Amino acid sequence: MHPVRLGCENLEYPDIPAYSCLAGLAPLRPKLRTYFFVNPQRREIDKMNVRLVRFHFSAAVVAVMVILSSGSVKQADAQGLTVEQTVICKNVVNRVPVDAGNSFATSVGKIFCFTKIVGARHPTEITHVWYFDGTERDRVTLSVGASPWRTYSSKRLRPNDVGPWHVDVLDAGGNMLDRVAFNVVP
Protein backbone atom coordinates (compact mmCIF):
# COMPACT_ATOMS: atom_id res chain seq x y z
CA MET A 1 0.00 0.00 0.00
CA HIS A 2 1.38 3.38 -1.01
CA PRO A 3 1.01 6.32 1.36
CA VAL A 4 -0.85 9.38 0.17
CA ARG A 5 1.56 12.24 -0.42
CA LEU A 6 0.59 15.85 -0.63
CA GLY A 7 2.71 18.48 -2.30
CA CYS A 8 2.33 22.23 -2.56
CA GLU A 9 4.22 24.66 -4.72
CA ASN A 10 4.11 28.42 -4.13
CA LEU A 11 4.19 30.11 -7.52
CA GLU A 12 4.61 33.70 -6.27
CA TYR A 13 6.96 33.13 -3.31
CA PRO A 14 9.18 30.13 -4.08
CA ASP A 15 11.31 30.76 -0.98
CA ILE A 16 8.38 30.04 1.42
CA PRO A 17 8.36 26.39 2.48
CA ALA A 18 5.63 24.11 1.09
CA TYR A 19 4.17 23.27 4.52
CA SER A 20 3.33 26.97 5.06
CA CYS A 21 1.35 26.94 1.80
CA LEU A 22 -0.79 24.16 3.14
CA ALA A 23 -1.26 25.86 6.50
CA GLY A 24 -2.35 29.10 4.81
CA LEU A 25 0.68 31.01 6.11
CA ALA A 26 1.78 32.41 2.75
CA PRO A 27 1.27 36.20 2.59
CA LEU A 28 -1.58 37.66 0.56
CA ARG A 29 -2.87 34.25 -0.48
CA PRO A 30 -0.43 33.49 -3.27
CA LYS A 31 -1.32 31.32 -6.21
CA LEU A 32 -0.86 27.74 -5.10
CA ARG A 33 -0.62 24.58 -7.08
CA THR A 34 -1.55 21.52 -5.00
CA TYR A 35 -0.79 17.98 -6.07
CA PHE A 36 -2.36 14.82 -4.70
CA PHE A 37 -0.55 11.59 -5.32
CA VAL A 38 -2.58 8.51 -4.51
CA ASN A 39 -2.32 4.88 -5.31
CA PRO A 40 -4.67 3.39 -7.97
CA GLN A 41 -6.79 1.53 -5.39
CA ARG A 42 -7.52 4.77 -3.57
CA ARG A 43 -8.48 6.45 -6.86
CA GLU A 44 -11.15 3.75 -7.43
CA ILE A 45 -12.49 4.26 -3.89
CA ASP A 46 -12.71 8.02 -4.57
CA LYS A 47 -14.66 7.35 -7.79
CA MET A 48 -17.12 5.15 -5.88
CA ASN A 49 -17.52 7.84 -3.20
CA VAL A 50 -18.26 10.44 -5.89
CA ARG A 51 -20.92 8.13 -7.37
CA LEU A 52 -22.41 7.60 -3.92
CA VAL A 53 -22.53 11.34 -3.24
CA ARG A 54 -24.20 11.93 -6.63
CA PHE A 55 -26.79 9.23 -5.83
CA HIS A 56 -27.59 10.73 -2.41
CA PHE A 57 -27.80 14.20 -3.91
CA SER A 58 -30.23 12.96 -6.57
CA ALA A 59 -32.33 11.23 -3.92
CA ALA A 60 -32.39 14.41 -1.85
CA VAL A 61 -33.52 16.46 -4.87
CA VAL A 62 -36.33 13.99 -5.55
CA ALA A 63 -37.39 14.07 -1.88
CA VAL A 64 -37.51 17.87 -1.89
CA MET A 65 -39.58 17.84 -5.09
CA VAL A 66 -42.05 15.40 -3.52
CA ILE A 67 -42.33 17.51 -0.37
CA LEU A 68 -42.86 20.71 -2.35
CA SER A 69 -45.46 19.09 -4.56
CA SER A 70 -47.38 17.56 -1.65
CA GLY A 71 -49.95 20.33 -1.90
CA SER A 72 -50.65 19.45 -5.52
CA VAL A 73 -50.78 15.77 -4.57
CA LYS A 74 -53.46 16.55 -2.01
CA GLN A 75 -55.29 18.62 -4.65
CA ALA A 76 -55.12 15.72 -7.12
CA ASP A 77 -56.47 13.34 -4.47
CA ALA A 78 -59.35 15.71 -3.85
CA GLN A 79 -60.11 15.50 -7.58
CA GLY A 80 -60.44 11.69 -7.22
CA LEU A 81 -63.34 12.02 -4.79
CA THR A 82 -66.74 10.82 -5.89
CA VAL A 83 -70.11 11.06 -4.21
CA GLU A 84 -71.84 7.74 -3.80
CA GLN A 85 -74.93 9.19 -2.10
CA THR A 86 -76.31 12.62 -1.28
CA VAL A 87 -79.78 12.90 0.27
CA ILE A 88 -81.82 15.39 2.24
CA CYS A 89 -83.40 13.73 5.28
CA LYS A 90 -85.12 14.46 8.59
CA ASN A 91 -82.40 12.89 10.74
CA VAL A 92 -79.13 10.91 10.71
CA VAL A 93 -78.87 7.99 13.14
CA ASN A 94 -75.70 5.85 13.38
CA ARG A 95 -74.41 7.49 10.20
CA VAL A 96 -77.51 6.42 8.25
CA PRO A 97 -80.05 8.90 6.79
CA VAL A 98 -83.59 8.65 8.19
CA ASP A 99 -86.73 9.71 6.27
CA ALA A 100 -84.99 10.89 3.09
CA GLY A 101 -87.11 12.81 0.61
CA ASN A 102 -87.36 15.80 -1.70
CA SER A 103 -90.15 17.76 0.01
CA PHE A 104 -90.24 18.83 3.68
CA ALA A 105 -92.65 20.88 5.77
CA THR A 106 -91.31 23.80 7.80
CA SER A 107 -92.78 22.08 10.85
CA VAL A 108 -89.96 19.49 10.63
CA GLY A 109 -87.76 22.15 12.18
CA LYS A 110 -84.39 20.79 11.02
CA ILE A 111 -83.23 18.94 7.91
CA PHE A 112 -79.94 17.22 7.10
CA CYS A 113 -77.83 16.86 3.98
CA PHE A 114 -76.16 13.44 4.20
CA THR A 115 -73.22 12.64 1.88
CA LYS A 116 -71.27 9.42 1.39
CA ILE A 117 -67.85 10.01 -0.21
CA VAL A 118 -65.59 7.40 -1.85
CA GLY A 119 -62.12 7.70 -3.38
CA ALA A 120 -60.36 9.67 -0.62
CA ARG A 121 -56.73 8.59 -0.38
CA HIS A 122 -55.71 11.25 2.16
CA PRO A 123 -57.66 13.36 4.66
CA THR A 124 -59.38 16.21 2.85
CA GLU A 125 -62.52 18.33 3.05
CA ILE A 126 -65.80 18.77 1.26
CA THR A 127 -68.21 21.66 1.53
CA HIS A 128 -72.01 21.69 1.62
CA VAL A 129 -73.32 24.94 0.16
CA TRP A 130 -77.01 25.47 0.97
CA TYR A 131 -79.04 27.61 -1.50
CA PHE A 132 -82.56 28.94 -1.04
CA ASP A 133 -84.29 30.23 -4.17
CA GLY A 134 -80.91 30.57 -5.95
CA THR A 135 -79.23 32.53 -3.12
CA GLU A 136 -76.48 31.06 -0.97
CA ARG A 137 -77.70 30.73 2.62
CA ASP A 138 -75.00 28.66 4.32
CA ARG A 139 -71.59 27.09 3.69
CA VAL A 140 -70.43 24.17 5.87
CA THR A 141 -66.95 22.63 5.55
CA LEU A 142 -66.78 18.95 6.53
CA SER A 143 -63.76 16.70 7.07
CA VAL A 144 -63.27 13.55 5.00
CA GLY A 145 -60.85 11.10 6.56
CA ALA A 146 -60.93 7.92 4.48
CA SER A 147 -62.85 6.02 1.87
CA PRO A 148 -65.76 5.47 2.21
CA TRP A 149 -66.64 8.40 4.47
CA ARG A 150 -70.12 9.49 5.61
CA THR A 151 -70.78 13.02 6.79
CA TYR A 152 -73.62 15.49 7.03
CA SER A 153 -74.62 19.08 7.72
CA SER A 154 -77.95 20.46 8.89
CA LYS A 155 -80.19 23.49 8.46
CA ARG A 156 -82.93 24.82 10.72
CA LEU A 157 -86.13 25.62 8.85
CA ARG A 158 -88.07 28.80 9.60
CA PRO A 159 -91.62 29.53 8.48
CA ASN A 160 -90.41 31.92 5.74
CA ASP A 161 -88.05 29.29 4.20
CA VAL A 162 -90.81 27.97 1.91
CA GLY A 163 -89.65 27.39 -1.67
CA PRO A 164 -87.00 25.65 -3.77
CA TRP A 165 -83.69 24.68 -2.13
CA HIS A 166 -80.59 22.85 -3.27
CA VAL A 167 -77.26 21.83 -1.75
CA ASP A 168 -74.02 21.73 -3.76
CA VAL A 169 -71.30 19.35 -2.59
CA LEU A 170 -67.84 20.77 -3.39
CA ASP A 171 -64.38 19.25 -3.06
CA ALA A 172 -61.42 21.04 -1.43
CA GLY A 173 -60.65 22.80 -4.72
CA GLY A 174 -64.20 24.16 -5.05
CA ASN A 175 -65.21 21.75 -7.82
CA MET A 176 -68.79 20.52 -7.72
CA LEU A 177 -69.13 16.84 -6.89
CA ASP A 178 -72.91 16.62 -6.57
CA ARG A 179 -76.13 18.61 -6.22
CA VAL A 180 -79.35 17.63 -4.49
CA ALA A 181 -82.56 19.66 -4.88
CA PHE A 182 -85.61 19.70 -2.61
CA ASN A 183 -88.62 21.83 -1.70
CA VAL A 184 -89.79 23.23 1.60
CA VAL A 185 -93.53 23.58 1.92
CA PRO A 186 -95.67 25.29 4.61
SS3 state at 42: helix
**Residue 114 contacts residue 142 (beta carbons within 8 Å):** no
Taking the domain 76-185, which CATH number applies? 2.70.50.60
Complete DSSP assignment for 102-159: SEEEGGG-EEEEEEEEE--SS-EEEEEEEEETTEEEEEEEEEE-SSSEEEEEEEE--T
β-partners of residue 153 are: 113
To the nearest whole percent, how much of the chain has pLDDT over 90? 49
Q: What is the pLDDT of residues 15-51, one digit of tens each?
A: 555 554 445 544 545 555 555 555 666 666 666 666 6
Predicted pLDDT at 26: 47
- pTM beyond 0.85, yes or no: no
Q: What's the CA angle centered on 111, arms 113 and 171, to 5 degrees?
A: 20
Q: What is the mean pLDDT of residues 93-102?
A: 93
Give 10's DSSP letter. E
Predicted pLDDT at 71: 43
Dist. CA 145–CA 125, nearest whole Å:
8
Predicted pLDDT at 146: 84
Question: Pseudo-torsion of CA 175, 83, 108, 138, nearest 10°?
Answer: -20
Q: What is the pLDDT of residues 103-156, one digit of tens each?
A: 999 999 999 999 999 988 889 999 999 999 999 999 999 999 988 899 999 999
Q: Which residue has the higher pLDDT, 122 or 10?
A: 122
Dist. CA 166–CA 113, nearest whole Å:
10
Q: What is the pLDDT of residues 144-176, one digit of tens each?
A: 998 889 999 999 999 999 999 999 999 988 999
Dist. CA 108–CA 183, nearest whole Å:
13
Give 93's DSSP letter. E
